[in-house]
A and B are shown apart, each in its own frame.
Chain A
Amino acid sequence: MKCRVCRGPAIIDVRRHNANFCVEHFIEQCERQVTKAIDAFSMIAPGERVLVAVSGGKDSLALWDLLHRLGHHAEGLYLGLGIGDYSDDSGVYARNFATARGLVLHEVDLRRDYGYDVPRAAAATRRVPCSACGLSKRHLFDEVARQGNFDVVATGHNLDDEAAVLFGNVLRWQTEYLARQMPVLPAGNGFPRKVKPLVRLSEREMAAYCIVTGIDYQVEECPMAAGNSHLGYKEALNIIEDRSPGTKHDFYFGFLDRAAEAFRQGLEQDATMLGRCRDCGAPTPSDRCAFCRLVERAGGRLPGTDGQGPDAGTDTPVVLGRRERP
């Protein structure tokens, strides 16, 4: 295999582009794909302050690295989710990455700062952990962005993630979700802009990017993810992709180009003015936001409301199956 650009020995094949790359030109290719996504969807304007949602995994660290390389002002935000060893280790990867590059990493720890964690919130709401986790993440990214005057929140969702979410939404004809599934959510109603600069890159490319640039990341999976339907969609799409390279890209970008608009039409009454949550001040259509209700149900507390949460003072760790670490 030879590099498409320099004809030197290649280290990776990217079959949907029918191309192979050496290390140097693979990195260049990743930079180009991110630049293309940022430009095509007006994700980040020059000089804007970007808050990168950092999990310690390959996608978010690669994203942070790429934005930094491309000259954007990007600071990280790591959320301690309290998911056993997985969270402890993930935090270490995020901190090491930031320290090695002299980048600013903000941290919020659910247990320390809010008196709950994802396993407890999942138990209290009797829903899959990813739903309480996702709600907490969205709320806290917005809040830290607001407090820190960031223009935009960037997440590491890649092509595989977006294609899998699209696939799930299509299988159930979730037309409202289809209307909102965009690589950019504009700012408004008190929310910062949300962008996904990795939508043109696959999961495999992001892992490869970390390996060739020496980014040490959390390879272990979140124990809460096992067996969820999202993984099933990815698996199904990868079987198709293996036979017909480029399918994931065409599925997702074809949707954005030719179908998304049709779903958005029924949905143009989005101008509802939001009020403010009486507890935390976040924009919300009701009197208290979904996050504050979650914190209460999970037995936590908001910072500054001196702790009635069960964790206040005494730390009661939730024990999860220990995962073997290399």
Chain B
Amino acid sequence: MNVRLRNPSRTVQVQGGRSVAKLLNELGLNRETVLVIRNGTLVPGDGFLEDSDEVELRPVISGGAA
């Protein structure tokens, strides 16, 4: 599947379908800090991502201290 990451914006290829939880684990991402989006919809932690899916991992942490 194609996985789009942000900040900076880039796309990585991941072979084969897998659960959201497994994908985040493999990419070393804390589930508190990202949302998984497929076709404009949120995919929950136990959701399954197919190999043919286009997925966005959107970071949710902003840095402003003011």
Give complex CA distance A130, B65 in Å. Answer: 6
Q: For A131, what are the chain B residues with a Cβ–Cβ distance below 8 Å?
A: 66
Chain A 1-40 interface residues, beta-carbon cutoff 8 Å to B: 1, 10-13, 20
Out of B34, B46, B63, B65, name the residue touching A221 (CB < 8 Å).
Answer: B63
Chain A 217-247 interface residues, beta-carbon cutoff 8 Å to B: 219-222, 225-226, 228-231, 234-235, 238-239, 241-242
Known: A207-B58, A211-B35, A239-B30. A222 touches B63 (CB 8 A): yes
A10 and B7 contacting across the interface, CB-CB below 8 Å = no
**Interface on chain A toward B: helix, strand, loop, or mixed SS?**
helix
A137 within 8 A of B: yes
A203 and B65 contacting across the interface, CB-CB below 8 Å = no
The closest CB in chain A to the CB of B33 belongs to A238
A204 and B45 contacting across the interface, CB-CB below 8 Å = no
Q: For A57, what are the chain B residues with a Cβ–Cβ distance below 8 Å?
A: 62
Chain B 3-35 interface residues, beta-carbon cutoff 8 Å to A: 6-9, 30-35
A204 and B63 contacting across the interface, CB-CB below 8 Å = no
B45 and A11 contacting across the interface, CB-CB below 8 Å = no
Give complex CA distance A153, B34 in Å. Answer: 29
A257 within 8 A of B: no
Give complex CA distance A114, B52 in Å. Answer: 52
Give complex CA distance A242, B30 in Å. Answer: 7
A133 within 8 A of B: yes
Q: Mark B32-66, 1 if CB is under 8 A from A, else 0.
A: 11110100111111110000000000111111111
A231 and B42 contacting across the interface, CB-CB below 8 Å = no
Taking the closest CB of chain B, its distance from the CB of A36, in whole angstroms, is 22
Give complex CA distance A220, B30 in Å. Answer: 19
Give complex CA distance A59, B44 in Å. Answer: 21
Taking the closest CB of chain A, its distance from the CB of B66, in whole angstroms, is 3
**Interface on chain B toward A: helix, strand, loop, or mixed SS?**
loop
B42 and A225 contacting across the interface, CB-CB below 8 Å = no
The closest CB in chain A to the CB of B32 belongs to A238
Most chain A beta-carbon neighbours within 10 Å: one of B8, B9, B42:
B42
A326 within 8 A of B: yes
Q: For A180, what are the chain B residues with a Cβ–Cβ distance below 8 Å?
A: none
A208 and B35 contacting across the interface, CB-CB below 8 Å = yes
Give complex CA distance A290, B63 in Å. Answer: 24
A151 within 8 A of B: no
Known: A13-B44, A326-B9. A134 touches B61 (CB 8 A): no
Most chain B beta-carbon neighbours within 10 Å: one of A134, A206, A211, A212:
A211
The closest CB in chain A to the CB of B47 belongs to A1
A323 and B62 contacting across the interface, CB-CB below 8 Å = no
Q: For B37, what are the chain A residues with a Cβ–Cβ distance below 8 Å?
A: 211
Known: A241-B32, A242-B32. A228 touches B65 (CB 8 A): yes
Taking the closest CB of chain A, its distance from the CB of B2, in whole angstroms, is 14
A204 and B60 contacting across the interface, CB-CB below 8 Å = yes
Jot down 27 A-B pairs with beta carbons below 8 A, ordered by A. A1-B45, A1-B47, A10-B44, A11-B43, A58-B62, A130-B64, A130-B66, A133-B64, A160-B61, A204-B33, A204-B35, A207-B35, A208-B35, A211-B37, A211-B42, A211-B58, A219-B58, A221-B63, A222-B64, A225-B64, A231-B63, A235-B33, A235-B61, A238-B32, A241-B32, A242-B30, A242-B31
Given pairs A58-B60, A207-B58, A207-B60, 15 additional interface contacts (CB within 8 A): A11-B41, A11-B44, A13-B45, A130-B66, A206-B60, A211-B42, A219-B59, A220-B7, A222-B62, A222-B64, A230-B63, A238-B30, A239-B30, A323-B8, A324-B9
